[in-house]
């Protein structure tokens, strides 16, 4: 058999012709030929090759996800993959973690992402676009199984030749601009994959990539989110904004009583969202007033986990999605301003303040976050930005590019001019991104707590500016500096019409030929 294979390979080298290309699902009987191809494909690879028992395990767990490609009846390449619930992993995972320590225990038919485990092609057949065909087979499978995306970690094997001159970020950019050729990354970019971020220690044995890897993603544009029986996305959404009064609480249980009062009231009106302000839990800091301000903020962070859990309980029991304002989180010697989206189905998402004000840095030593995303809820696709972040138009535009319909902005401002910065910018974001924007903050005085002694707020819901919306772009607004709940209904169907038939179309009429906006992930 191997003599026949050798003669076929020699004939192809002599004639340069291949008659027939086929892609099939990998079977155990293919292993001997697969091994021969691996030996050729992995000549420059320091890691170990795939063993028969590992291949058998992949075939047993997910036969549809394992492909083998034939050229004139010879196995000349393969692609392995599994399905994972990517929500259970962060973008900072390693190959070992995502594969369950190489056992593929992470594979689940209930997952949402097709994760690429390996692709290789015999070097003598690398002029036939076999890698592209294998990637296309994966894409077809992803669409067939209605998965959100294909994700995998990719090597950058030529990086070691340039690492003295460029960091991985600069190297990737130069590969994108085709100033540097990388046999793996250049190929993946040409196949519609985009780099999400750079991974460190993804494959520790990968010396050529100097232990770096690119996290790549291809999005399935035909993906349809599953809809549970009795559950559907609402088009008319009711928002409940809590204009919170700062007051001293003798315990965290007293704070929870006040929170539950507002959640109960909002839920009674059958609202879809209950929204709390930035640092609504600031009164708890009075317990640490004897400390330095930075130490007091870190001490208050001890309540954050308990508050998150309690808000999630309220969201489920009162059947309302809760946006839990923001609060300090101290982890790994880093203090951040974070918040939590507690879905009424029990799921919890988090978000971070990305831009930190000068006072937050000066008095508390806060660091900016790196998390920016939209959230799919049972009442539409939403985005959440904390206070100062709404003053930077790039962030909402990135979220709008992902289909955001409602932007929520929990804020904290002490003076009217500070409030007007947030308000004016929020109203601009509603117009330029053709979405609804809801803002809410705190009122009242808190002289017992440093940096939170004064508070000014007028909660509001803003709309785009067109005939279907209020002429002043304001759906509803609260009484300034008064503790209260503001309830407002927004119609998401109006946004759909605006995007296509508005008198102006800010999203469609952009000039990507003249300017572009992209994410730059911190490495």
Please give the positions annotated as active site.
278, 353, 387
Helices 416-432 + 394-401 axis angle, to 10: 30
Distance CA 320, CA 434 (A): 25
Q: Which two tokens stand for residue 21?
A: 């290309």
Q: Which residues contact 151 (CB under 8 A, 6 or more apart)?
A: 86, 113, 114, 115, 116, 196, 215, 216, 217, 218
Q: Which two tokens stand for residue 289?
A: 């007033």
Q: Which residues contact 288 (CB under 8 A, 6 or more apart)?
A: 295, 296, 299, 300
Query: Of all helices (H) and strands (E), which one includes residue 35?
Result: helix 31-41
Q: How many helices (H) and strands (E) does the chain have?
A: 14, 20
Query: How far is CA 414 from its chain centroid?
Result: 32
3-state secondary structure 366-434: CCCCCCCCCEEEECEEEEECCHHHHHCCHHHHHHHHCCCCEEEEECCCCCHHHHHHHHHHHHHHHHHCC
Distance CA 307, CA 320 (A): 16
Distance CA 473, CA 461 (A): 9
Q: 213 and 153 in contact (C-beta within 8 Å)? A: yes
Residue with tokens 């939170």: 452
Q: 83 and 51 in contact (C-beta within 8 Å)? A: no
Cα-Cα-Cα-Cα torsion 494, 497, 498, 502, nearest 10 degrees, comes to -130
Q: Which residues contact 161 (CB under 8 A, 6 or more apart)?
A: none
Distance CA 125, CA 18 (A): 9
Distance CA 212, CA 152 (A): 13
Q: 300 and 470 in contact (C-beta within 8 Å)? A: no
Parallel/antiparallel/unpaired status of strands 236-245 and 273-278: parallel
Q: Which two tokens stand for residue 82?
A: 């599994």
Residue with tokens 């918040």: 339
Q: 342 and 312 in contact (C-beta within 8 Å)? A: yes
């Amino acid at each position: 058999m191997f003599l026949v294979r050798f003669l076929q390979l020699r004939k192809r080298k002599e004639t340069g012709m291949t008659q027939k290309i086929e892609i099939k699902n990998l079977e155990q009987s293919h292993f001997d030929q697969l091994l021969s191809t691996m030996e050729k494909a992995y000549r420059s690879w320091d890691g170990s090759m795939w063993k028969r028992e590992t291949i058998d395990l992949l075939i047993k767990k997910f036969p549809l996800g394992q492909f083998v490609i034939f050229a004139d009846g010879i196995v000349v390449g393969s692609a392995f993959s599994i399905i994972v619930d990517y929500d259970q992993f962060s973008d900072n995972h390693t190959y070992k973690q995502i594969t369950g320590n190489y056992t593929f225990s992470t594979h689940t038919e209930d997952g949402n992402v097709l994760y690429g485990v390996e692709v290789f092609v015999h070097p003598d057949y690398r002029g036939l676009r076999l890698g592209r065909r294998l990637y296309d087979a994966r894409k077809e499978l992803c669409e067939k199984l209605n998965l959100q995306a294909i994700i995998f970690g990719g090597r950058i094997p030529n990086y070691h030749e340039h690492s003295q001159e460029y960091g991985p970020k600069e190297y990737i950019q130069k590969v994108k601009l085709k100033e540097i050729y990388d046999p793996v990354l250049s190929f993946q970019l040409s196949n519609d994959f985009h780099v999400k971020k750079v991974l460190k220690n993804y494959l520790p044995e990968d010396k050529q990539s100097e232990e770096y890897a690119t996290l790549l993603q291809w999005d399935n544009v035909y993906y349809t989110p599953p809809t549970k029986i009795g559950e559907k996305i609402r088009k008319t959404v009711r928002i409940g904004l809590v204009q919170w009064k700062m007051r001293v609480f003798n315990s965290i249980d007293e704070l929870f009583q006040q929170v539950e009062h507002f959640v109960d009231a909002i839920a009674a009106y059958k609202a879809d969202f209950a929204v709390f302000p930035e640092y609504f839990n600031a009164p708890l800091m009075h317990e640490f007033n004897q400390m330095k301000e930075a130490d007091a903020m870190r001490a208050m962070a001890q309540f954050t986990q308990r508050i998150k859990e309690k808000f999630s309980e309220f969201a489920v029991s009162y059947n309302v999605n809760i946006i839990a304002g923001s609060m300090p989180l101290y982890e790994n010697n880093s203090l951040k301003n974070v918040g939590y989206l507690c879905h009424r189905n029990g799921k919890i998402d988090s978000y971070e303040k990305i831009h930190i004000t000068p006072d937050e840095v000066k008095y508390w030593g806060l660091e900016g976050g790196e998390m920016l995303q939209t959230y799919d809820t049972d009442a539409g696709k939403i985005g959440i930005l904390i206070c100062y972040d709404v003053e930077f138009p790039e962030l909402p535009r990135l979220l709008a590019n992902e289909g955001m319909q409602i932007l929520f902005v929990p804020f904290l401002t002490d003076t009217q001019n500070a409030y007007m910065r947030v308000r004016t910018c929020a109203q601009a974001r509603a117009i330029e991104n053709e979405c609804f924007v809801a803002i809410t903050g705190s009122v009242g005085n808190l002289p017992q707590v440093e940096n939170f002694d004064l508070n000014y707020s007028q909660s509001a819901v803003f709309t785009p500016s067109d005939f279907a919306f209020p002429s002043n772009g304001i759906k509803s607004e609260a009484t300034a500096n008064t503790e209260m709940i503001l309830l407002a209904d927004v119609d998401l169907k109006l946004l759909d019409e605006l995007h296509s038939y508005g008198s102006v179309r800010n999203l469609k009429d952009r000039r990507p030929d003249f300017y572009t906006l992209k994410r730059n992930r911190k490495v």
